Amino acid sequence: MLEAAGVAVFALTGALVAARKGMDPFGFILLSTVTGVGGGTLRDLLLGRGVFWVQDPFDVILCALVALACWALAYRRPGMLDGWGGKRLLIWADAAGMALFAVIGTQKALAVGAPNPSAIAFGAITAAFGGIIRDILAGDRPMVLWSRDFYVTAAATGATVTAALAHFDVNPTVVMLGGIAAGFGLRAGSILFGWSFPSLPGSGPDKA
Amino acid sequence: MLEAAGVAVFALTGALVAARKGMDPFGFILLSTVTGVGGGTLRDLLLGRGVFWVQDPFDVILCALVALACWALAYRRPGMLDGWGGKRLLIWADAAGMALFAVIGTQKALAVGAPNPSAIAFGAITAAFGGIIRDILAGDRPMVLWSRDFYVTAAATGATVTAALAHFDVNPTVVMLGGIAAGFGLRAGSILFGWSFPSLPGSGPDKA
Amino acid sequence: MLEAAGVAVFALTGALVAARKGMDPFGFILLSTVTGVGGGTLRDLLLGRGVFWVQDPFDVILCALVALACWALAYRRPGMLDGWGGKRLLIWADAAGMALFAVIGTQKALAVGAPNPSAIAFGAITAAFGGIIRDILAGDRPMVLWSRDFYVTAAATGATVTAALAHFDVNPTVVMLGGIAAGFGLRAGSILFGWSFPSLPGSGPDKA
C-alpha cells in the first residue's frame, strides 16, 4: 500500500516531466513507469530479490494509468501541467515519493539482514535514483544533485531515523511515520525556507 | 539466432554513433557492445536469470567484430558512415533491432511465467533501453523519447501482438513474425510517412 | 584490500567532481559512493553474485569518509580541489582505479568460470563504468568515451594481460601486478605523451 503510493507519486513526477517536454502518450508511459518503479527495481536487484513488479504487474499498470491520465489532461488543458502549478506539483510529489522510498528501502534492506550503514545507503540510493533516472532520460541535470537545497540529505536523514527507530523495536507504524516525517520535513523546510548547507566558497548557485 | 541478429543490428547502431563522434577503436567496441547486449542484459537482470553473454561470449565477440569493421570502414572511407547514408542506416538498423528485441523480451518474460502486462512492459523496456543507453553514453538526447514519431509505441505494440498471439497458442514462428511485423511496421510507417500521435498543444517539435 | 584501494581512489574522483560542481556534503557522499562502488556493483549484478557491499558496508563507509574529507578540504581551502592540481589528481586517481578494477573484474569473472572473452569484457566494462556513471550523474560527457587518449583501450589491455597470465597459472601476485602495470602503463603513457590511435579522418578532437 505504502509502496504503491510511492510508485504513484513518482510516476506522476515522470508524467509531469513528459508533459513539459511534449512527449507522446507512450513517452509518458515509459517515463512514468521507469520513474515510478526505477528506485524499487534497483533496490531489489541490489538485494538479490526478485524484482517486485515482474510477477505482480499492479504497479506497472498503475504507472501507465497515471501517465495516460496526465497525457489526457495535458492534451485537453494545455499549460496546466507544465506551467508554474505543474512545476510546484512536480517538486512536492517528488518530495513525497523520496520520503516514502527512503523508508521502504531501508526497511527492506534491514529485513534481509543488511547492517545499518548498508541499510541507510539503500534507503538513500533507492529514494534518489527514481528521480535521477527520470532526469537523465529527459535530458535534464538530476534535480537530486543540482538543487542547492536538501535532497540526498533529506533521504539519508529519513533512512537514518528509520534504521534507528527499527533498532529500538518501536511499533512499525511509528517507525514508518518517523522516517517519513524526518525525510519529508527536511525536504519541505528546504523547499519553503531555503534550508541548506553553506555553499562551497567560490561556487555560484548554478556552476556547471 | 534471432537474438544474435538483434544484437548485431544494435551493435551496428552503436558503431555508427561512435563514427559520428569520432571515437577510437575501443570506443567503437565499448559503445557497440553496450548497445548490442544492453537491452538483453537488463532483461536478464530483471528476470533474475543469468545474464546471457556471461557464460557464452559469442554475442560480445560479434559486437566487437561489428565495431572493428565499422571503424576500419570509417577510417578508410571518411564520411561514409557519418553522412546522410549513415544516418539513414542508423535509423533503420535501430528499427530492426527494436522490433526484434520487443518480441524476444516479451517471449522470455512469458517463458518464466510473468503475467501479460509485465511481459509487455518487458518487451517494450528491453527494446527501448539498448538505444537509450547508447544515446546517453554518446551524450545525445535519447532518440526513443525525443523523436516525434512512434518508437516506444511501436515497441509496445510489437510486444502486445506477441503476447496476444502466444496466448492463443499460435505456431511459434507465426508469433515471432506477427510481433516483428507489428513493431517494425508501425516504426517504418512512422519514419516514412510521419505517423504520430497529435502533438501536445503548445509544444513545438524540439522543445527542451 | 586491493578492492578497497580501487574503491577509495574512485571515490576520490567522485568527490573531486563534486567539488568542481560545488555540491553539498551529501552530494559529495552520493557521487563518491556511486563512483566508488558502481563498477563493482555492476560486475556483481552481471555475475549473479550478491553485491559486495550489501552485507559488509566497509566500502560504503570508506566512500563516505573520503567524500566528507574532500568536502571539508574544499570548504576550508577554496580552489584547492577544483583548480589545476585537482584536475591532475582526478585524472591520475581515475587511472589508478581503472587499472585496479580491470584486473579485479577479470579475476572475479574467471573465478566463476566465465570464458576468456567474457572475462575480458567484464574487466573492461567494470573498469569503465564507475567513471561513466560519475560523469553522467555530474552532467559531463563521459571521460572514458570522449578523451582522445587510451582509456577503454588501457582497461581492455589490462584485462587481457590478466586473463593471459592467469591462463598460464602464474603466481597470483604476478598476475595482479602484470595486469595493473599493463593497464596503468598504457593510460599513463597516453596522459603524459599523448599516445592514441590515429583520429578518424574529418573528426576534430572535440566534435559533438
**Is B94 domain-assigned?**
yes
Q: Do A109 and C54 touch (CB under 8 A)?
A: yes
| Chain B interface, best mutation among C153, C200, C206, by max B CB count within 10 A | C200
In the block, residue with C-alpha cell 581515475: C94
CB contact, 8 Å: C2 with chain B? no
Q: Do B208 and A51 touch (CB under 8 A)?
A: no
Q: What per-residue confidence (pLDDT) applies to C199?
A: 81
**Is C156 domain-assigned?**
yes
Q: Do B55 and C148 touch (CB under 8 A)?
A: no
**Is B201 domain-assigned?**
no
State the average pLDDT over residues B121-126.
89
Q: Which chains touch B (3 or more CB pairs under 8 A)?
A: A, C
State the average pLDDT over residues A22-35.
91
SS (H, E, C) A114-129: CCHHHHHHHHHHHHHH
In the block, residue with C-alpha cell 563512483: C35
d(CA C166, CA C160): 10
Please check whether residue C140 is in contact with residue C165, taking contact to mean a CB–CB distance below 8 angstroms.
Answer: no
**Is B62 domain-assigned?**
yes
pLDDT at A206 over 50: no
pLDDT at B83 over 80: no
pLDDT in tens, A3-15: 899 999 999 999 9
Q: C-alpha cell of C193?
A: 605523451
State the average pLDDT over residues B96-109.
94
Distance between B16 CA and the closest CA of chain A, angstroms: 21
pLDDT in tens, A144-155: 776 678 889 999
Exposure on the CB side of residue B83, measured as CA atoms within 13 A: 9
Q: What per-residue confidence (pLDDT) applies to B142?
A: 84
Q: Provide the domain limits for residue C35.
A: 2-193
Q: What per-residue confidence (pLDDT) applies to B139?
A: 83
Residues 43-62 of B with CB under 8 A from C: 45, 50-51, 53-57, 60-61
Distance between B72 CA and the closest CA of chain C, angstroms: 9
Q: What per-residue confidence (pLDDT) applies to C177?
A: 94
| Cβ-based contacts of B136 with chain C (< 8 Å) | 136
| Cβ-based contacts of C55 with chain A (< 8 Å) | 113-115, 118
Q: What per-residue confidence (pLDDT) applies to C203?
A: 61
Q: Confidence class of residue B207 from pLDDT cuts 50, 70 and 90?
A: very low
Q: Which chains touch C (3 or more CB pairs under 8 A)?
A: A, B
CB contact, 8 Å: C195 with chain B? no
Q: What per-residue confidence (pLDDT) applies to C49?
A: 85
Chains A, C: CB contacts within 8 A come to 92
Q: Do A24 and B113 touch (CB under 8 A)?
A: no
Please check whether residue C81 is in contact with residue C16, taking contact to mean a CB–CB distance below 8 angstroms.
Answer: yes
Q: How many domains does chain A have?
A: 1
Residue C108 has a CB neighbour count (10 Å cut-off) of 21
d(CA C19, CA C81): 6
Task: Share the mean pLDDT of chain A.
Answer: 88
**Is C49 domain-assigned?**
yes
Q: Which residue of A has its CA nearest to C59?
A: A118
From the list C45, C109, C113, the residue facing B45 with the nearest CB is C45
Complete DSSP assignment for A152-207: HHHHHHHHHHHHHHHHTT--HHHHHHHHHHHHHHHHHHHHHH---PPPPTT--TT-
Nearest to A13 by CA among A77, A86, A76: A86
Q: What percent of chain A has pLDDT over 90?
A: 56
**Is C202 domain-assigned?**
no
d(CA C147, CA A5): 44
Q: What per-residue confidence (pLDDT) applies to A208?
A: 41
- Which H helix or E strand runs over A91? helix A84-111
Q: What per-residue confidence (pLDDT) applies to A202?
A: 65
Please check whether residue C65 is in contact with residue C100, taking contact to mean a CB–CB distance below 8 angstroms.
Answer: no
Q: What per-residue confidence (pLDDT) applies to A93?
A: 92
Distance between B63 CA and the closest CA of chain A, angstroms: 25
| Chain B interface, best mutation among C112, C118, C148, C207, by max B CB count within 10 A | C118
Distance between C21 CA and the closest CA of chain A, angstroms: 6
CB contact, 8 Å: B79 with chain C? yes
Q: What per-residue confidence (pLDDT) applies to C205?
A: 44
pLDDT in tens, A44-101: 999 988 898 988 899 999 999 999 999 999 888 877 777 777 788 889 999 999 999 9
CB burial class (10 A; 0-12, 13-18, 19+) of residue C183? buried
pLDDT at B50 over 70: yes
Distance between A3 CA and the closest CA of chain C, angstroms: 22
CB contact, 8 Å: C74 with chain A? yes
Q: Of A131-135, B81-85, B175-179, where does the model show the most confidence?
A: B175-179
Q: What per-residue confidence (pLDDT) applies to B190?
A: 92
Q: Which residue of B has its CA nearest to A22?
A: B203
**Is B143 domain-assigned?**
yes
Q: Which chains touch A (3 or more CB pairs under 8 A)?
A: B, C
Successive 10-residue mean pLDDT values, chain C, 208 residues: 88 92 89 93 90 90 95 84 79 93 94 92 89 88 78 93 91 92 95 86 53
From the list C45, C57, C71, the residue facing A118 with the nearest CB is C57
**Is B206 domain-assigned?**
no
Distance between C27 CA and the closest CA of chain A, angstroms: 6
pTM: 0.89
